[in-house]
Every structure is written in structure tokens, then in C-alpha cells.
Chains A and B, each alone.
Chain A
Amino acid sequence: MNLRGGWELIKKSYLGWMASRGFFWTLTFGWMVPSLLYLFVWVAVAGQGQIQGSTRDDFIVYYLCLIMLNQFTYPVCNWTVGDSIRMGRLSDWLLRPLPVMFEAIASDIAMKMVCTPFAVTVTVVLAFFLRPAVHFSPQSVLFFLLAFLLAQVLRFLMAYTLALLALWNSRADALLDLNDSLVFLLAGQVAPIALLPGALRALAAVLPYRYMLGFPIELLIGRLSTTEIWQGFAWQCAWVIGVLFLYRFVWKHGLRHYTSVGG
């Protein structure tokens, strides 16, 4: 592990991006809007009476957590890695004495450092205006942190693996769009998973998307039973391992297809 090299990569990307932070804050705002939209929709709905036991405050807490978590787990490599492969920048990365994945991880961390102040400000302002009653137990916070870490790894790996498909076909972006739509529907953005209609809820429980976003928040809010908690963790770990194998496979075979562009 070349940690110093990794840190230098983070610093490089961070400084480069702070130079155009207005651009990235606009981007951050764009990522926030769907969650924000459904926050207001559900708050308006809950204002007419409880929805399956969820009150207005429950929805506010859920969606404010979602905005922050989505910000932290959103994979930047979604778009940058595919572009770098198409433009031939991957050649530079291959020559470095560092694993290629370091570049993607570094830009991911740096991007989050640039965007976080903005996301935190918006969330705090919203919390100040909406004033939900919040209560988290220490145990659920612990569970949350663990699930959050796994969610971060899972979402990043999934996006990175899909972006690597550009090694075969330069139009792999369509799959990324599909992936984003599924995150929106099945990760708990359009509605908390518990409120989805039966078939979609069953689908969400076995697909990886819930474990990228919704599951950690459900743990934090503390509505899950002990069995549900362990089932969730089991699925989450299984998906991390599964996607890890998928990544190894795609990287090993994809690299042989890579032919550089540009000089």
C-alpha cells in the first residue's frame, strides 16, 4: 500500500477542484434536488395525517439524513473514469507506481471534501427551519456507522466497475444512467423502503441498492427489528463481496481490450 502517494493524489485533486468550487456546488445542489423534492412531497402528505405510522418529523429526519448520506456516498467515478478511458488519460494512470483505482478513490475523497461544506450548510439550514424532533440511540449510531462504511464501499465499487465497462464499449454511460435510476427507485430516495408497494419492497430487499443508501438510515432511525438488522448486514456484506469479485473480473479482462487514444 502506497499511502503517501494516495494522499498526494487526494491533495492534487482537491486543490484542482477547489479552484472551481462554484461549479461543484452547483453540481451538489443538482444531486440534492430529487431528495429535497421528495422530502417536501412526503412532508406535505404526512401533514394530512400519519402514513403507516410515520409522522412529519420521521420523514424530515429520514430525508435530511438521506441528503447527507447521498452526498457522502455519491460516486464521482461514475462519470470521470469512463471519460478518462475514452480520452486515453488511463495510460498516464497505468504508468504510475500506484494501483489505478487509487486515482478514482482519491478524486472521490477530494470531491467530497469540496462539496461537504455546501451540503452541510443546506442540511443545517433546512433542519433549522423544519425543526424535527431527533433522537438517536448510541447503539443505532454504531450500527449506522458500520453500515455507512459498507454502503460507501459498495456504491463506489459498483459505479467504478460499471464505469470500467467503457474499456469494451465507449458508450457504457447508458448503464450508469440505468444504475442511477435504480438507486433513485430502490435505494429509498423516492420513498422510504418500508413504504414501497409489496413487489417493489421485496425487490429492494434483495438488490444492492437499498444497502447503498436506505439501509444505514433505517438503522439510524432505529425502526428495524433485530432479525431485520442482521439480515440487512448479511445482504450488504454479500453484495460487497459479490461486486468485489465482479470488479476483479472486469478489470482483469477489460484491460486487455484497452487501446489508448491520443498521443
Chain B
Amino acid sequence: MWYYLRLIGSFLRASIQEETASRVNFMLNILNTILSLTTGVLGIVILFHLVTTIQGWTFPQTLALLGIYQLITALQNLVIQPSMNSLGGIGGDAWTGRFDYTLQAPVSTQFLVSFQKWRLWGLVDVVLSCVILGIALTLLGGQLGLLQVAMFVLALCISLLIVYAIFLLLTSASLWQHGVPLVWIFTSFMQLGRYPVGIYPGMLKLVLTWIVPVAFITTVPVEILTKQVSPIMLVGGAGIALGLLVFASAFFRMSLRHYTGASS
């Protein structure tokens, strides 16, 4: 365990060295986040200047949902996305054959694949999305109990576990079939989580709940903060997360056996 933590430490150091090399990226990253937050917030403002609720969701509640969506994407872009992308992305290790070296390393391959690359500028995104969430909660008023906060943190962890499992699943799939960036399809679907899943028509709602569980990823955490949620949703979410995780790890190991190298 200690050994793995020390490894994460050196991955972090390597990523910091890599990123501080070009400081322009830092500014560009902030600009991007601000643009994405502004368009998101303006979208909601435009909507709510015409109506007062959408499917029972008020303005502050929808704003809180946007904050959570941005928070989860920011956390995902901190380590899950960059690590998996450097394996399964366009021109990634599976593509060039550098993955062979990862396989030879004397540590768990899944660990390496999951934590090898960090994008620490993403911490700014985390802070900015917390600001949005904070504004939304202030607009909502009301007191947050300790239990509510604890449930919220738990729900956030469950969401990240689900996101991680899906990334692992899709990255494993890219070992079988190069060229189709499956992860992009997932992140596109994730965008639908900016608004309450309840607004989508029947079929899509089912897909977003059970196949691409966006409902569990973004809607449940915000419902804990803004509405009453029975703990059963949390138990259900944890069940889905664990199930997905076990399945994804198994599929990852199967894909490793299938992988035959890409170098000539």
C-alpha cells in the first residue's frame, strides 16, 4: 500500500514537471473552464427568464446540478481521463505499442493505467465548480445538516467510482478495436447530465438511468442537497458502482489477455 502511494507521488511529480513546462496551458485551461461555466450558467438563466420551474426543478436547484456536473467532470479530468486517455486515446500507448512497457512493469497494470498521468491544473476547475455550487446553495437558503453533507460526500464518491468503472470499461474496449474513441461517446452522453434526467423522453430516460447511469452520477448528489432522498437511492447507487467496478476490472484483465501489441 505504502509502495503504491509513493508511486502516485512520483507520477504527480512527473506530471507537475511536464505541465509547468508550458505555462500558457494554465491560462488556456482557466479560459476554457470559465467559458464552459459561463455558457452553462447563461443557458440556465435564459431558460428561467421564461419559466419558473422545469419539471419541478427551480433555478437554484438547476444551477446546483450544473455545479455538480462541472465538479464531477473536473475531478474526472484530474486523473481518470488523462490516465486512460494516454492508454486508449488517439495516438495513445495502445495505439503506438508503448503499452508493452507498461505491461512489463512489476506493479498492477490496472493501477498504472488508472493513475499514471495527472492534470493538476484541473484543480482550478474543481474550485470554480465549487463556487457555482456554493452560489446555488446560498440561493436555495436553508440549512445543511451534518448527515446531509456526509450523504453528499458518499454520493460524490459513488459517482466518481461509476465514472471510473465506465472509463476503464471503454478503455479496455479500445484494446480490441482501435480508432473509435468510445470514451468520447460517454462524455457526450454525460453532457445530458447538465439538466435533470426527468426532462428526457421515456426511452432516453431509461438509457440515462441504467445503461449510461448519468442519473446516478449527477442527479442523485444534487437531490441529496436540495430535496429529500431516501437512503435507498444511495444503496442502489453503491450497488451499481460496485457491480460496474467488478465487471470493468474483469473485462480489463480479459482485454489484457487479448492484447497482442501494436509495435512491429
Q: Which residues of A are in contact with B by a Cβ distance under 8 Å?
A: 20, 22-23, 26-27, 29-30, 33-34, 36-38, 40-41, 43-45, 48, 51-52, 129, 171, 173-174, 177-178, 181, 184-185, 190-191, 195-197, 200
Enumerate 28 A-B pairs (CB-CB under 8 Å) in ascending A order: A23-B179, A23-B180, A23-B181, A26-B181, A26-B182, A26-B185, A27-B184, A29-B184, A30-B184, A33-B192, A36-B192, A40-B195, A40-B200, A41-B47, A41-B54, A41-B199, A44-B54, A51-B51, A174-B32, A177-B31, A181-B36, A185-B42, A190-B46, A191-B43, A195-B46, A196-B46, A197-B45, A200-B46
Q: How far is the CB of A37 from chain B (nearest CB, A)?
A: 6
A34 to B49 alpha-carbon distance, docked (Å): 20
Q: How far is the CB of A186 from chain B (nearest CB, A)?
A: 10
A256 to B133 alpha-carbon distance, docked (Å): 48
A22 engages B179 (CB within 8 Å): yes
A129 to B202 alpha-carbon distance, docked (Å): 11
- B contact face: mostly helix, strand, loop, or mixed: helix
Q: Which of B36, B50, B195 contacts A195 (CB 8 A)?
A: B50
B179 engages A197 (CB within 8 Å): no
A45 to B59 alpha-carbon distance, docked (Å): 13
Q: Which of A44, A171, A174, A185 contacts B199 (CB 8 A)?
A: A44
Identify the closest chain A residue to B90 (Cβ).
A23
Q: How far is the CB of A31 from chain B (nearest CB, A)?
A: 9
A52 engages B50 (CB within 8 Å): yes
A184 to B40 alpha-carbon distance, docked (Å): 10
A177 engages B51 (CB within 8 Å): no
Q: How far is the CB of B41 from chain A (nearest CB, A)?
A: 11
- A contact face: mostly helix, strand, loop, or mixed: helix
A37 engages B180 (CB within 8 Å): no
Contact residues, B166-204 vs A (CB, 8 A): 179-182, 184-185, 188-189, 191-192, 194-195, 199-201, 203-204
A37 engages B54 (CB within 8 Å): no
CB of B55 closer than 8 Å to a CB of A: yes
A190 engages B43 (CB within 8 Å): yes
Knowing A22-B179, A26-B180, A26-B185, say if A40 contacts B32 (CB, 8 Å): no
Which residues of chain B are within 8 angstroms of A27 by Cβ–Cβ distance? 184
Task: Give the number of chain B interface residues (Cβ < 8 Å).
Answer: 35
Q: How far is the CB of A175 from chain B (nearest CB, A)?
A: 10
A200 to B45 alpha-carbon distance, docked (Å): 12
Which residues of chain B are within 8 angstroms of A36 by Cβ–Cβ distance? 192
Identify the closest chain A residue to B195 (Cβ).
A41
B185 engages A40 (CB within 8 Å): no
CB of B127 closer than 8 Å to a CB of A: no
A39 to B118 alpha-carbon distance, docked (Å): 35
Knowing A37-B195, A171-B24, A174-B31, say if A45 contacts B180 (CB, 8 Å): no
Q: How far is the CB of A127 from chain B (nearest CB, A)?
A: 14
Q: How far is the CB of A35 from chain B (nearest CB, A)?
A: 11
Q: How far is the CB of B73 from chain A (nearest CB, A)?
A: 14
B184 engages A181 (CB within 8 Å): no
B39 engages A177 (CB within 8 Å): no
Knowing A44-B54, A195-B50, say if A190 contacts B195 (CB, 8 Å): no
Identify the closest chain A residue to B203 (Cβ).
A129
A26 engages B54 (CB within 8 Å): no
A37 to B39 alpha-carbon distance, docked (Å): 14
CB of B38 closer than 8 Å to a CB of A: yes
Q: Which of A38, A40, A41, A200 contacts B204 (CB 8 A)?
A: A40
Which residues of chain A are within 8 angstroms of B31 by Cβ–Cβ distance? 174, 177-178
CB of B262 closer than 8 Å to a CB of A: no
Q: How far is the CB of B145 from chain A (nearest CB, A)?
A: 31
CB of B35 closer than 8 Å to a CB of A: yes
CB of B5 closer than 8 Å to a CB of A: no
